[in-house]
Amino acid sequence: METAVTGMEIVVHGRNVEVPDHYRQHVSEKLAKLERYDNKIIRIEVELHHERNPRQTGRCQHVEITCRTRGPVVRSEAYAEDFYKALDLAVERLERRLSHAADRRRIHYGRRTPQSIAVVAADGSTSGETHSSDEDVEEGPGRIVRIKEHPAKPMSVDQALFEMELVGHDFYLFSDVDTGRPSVVYRRHAYDYGLIRLTD
């Protein structure tokens, strides 16, 4: 189901769960305030997933939010004992990332030194993806259960690190603008990062 909020398109759907109308309304109200960080948000996708593992009762409800703007994709996710708490946590993380992105834009256009990527990493969340499309595959032990694709727009290592942090991921695959080669930046310890480049 899609909802328009002051120009933003909000799509809420569930994986193995039914999403009631009152929860969709709650999501729209929570997300409406995100435009104060970026007035160029085009679409926000919210996915709900119930974890069937009985040992995960305190973290059984999963909410993932993907915010698509005219710039980098921003994503967050959270687990909690109910979907309302999971949504609150995911929105808080998304707000921090959108705020960091807004700060970086102000620094960039002001031609000052960019903010350290360590500041963006400070929220501590380590899951999420930047991919623009995905495909679910039949689940089972040892199988590939999801295929992701995203645009290979060339970028610098610094921009790749920044976009990795915007989605809270532990790694980020990109095309290096300096070498033209597929490369991966990844999180190591504390605020340290690694870089993998393919060679012939």
Judge whether residue 144 has pLDDT over 80: no
Q: Where are the domains of the chain?
A: 1-112, 116-200
1-112 and 116-200 have identical folds: no
pLDDT at 143 over 80: no
pLDDT exceeds 60 at position 113: no
Q: Per residue in 46-72, pLDDT tens? A: 999 988 766 666 678 999 999 988 878
Instruction: Name the strand (E) or helix (H) holding 10.
Output: strand 8-15
The fold of 1-112 is Double Stranded RNA Binding Domain (3.30.160)
pLDDT at 62 (0 to 100): 93
pTM exceeds 0.75 for this model: no
More confident residue, 6 or 58: 58
116-200: CATH topology is SHC Adaptor Protein (3.30.505)
The CA dihedral of 189, 192, 182, 141, to the nearest 10 degrees, is 10
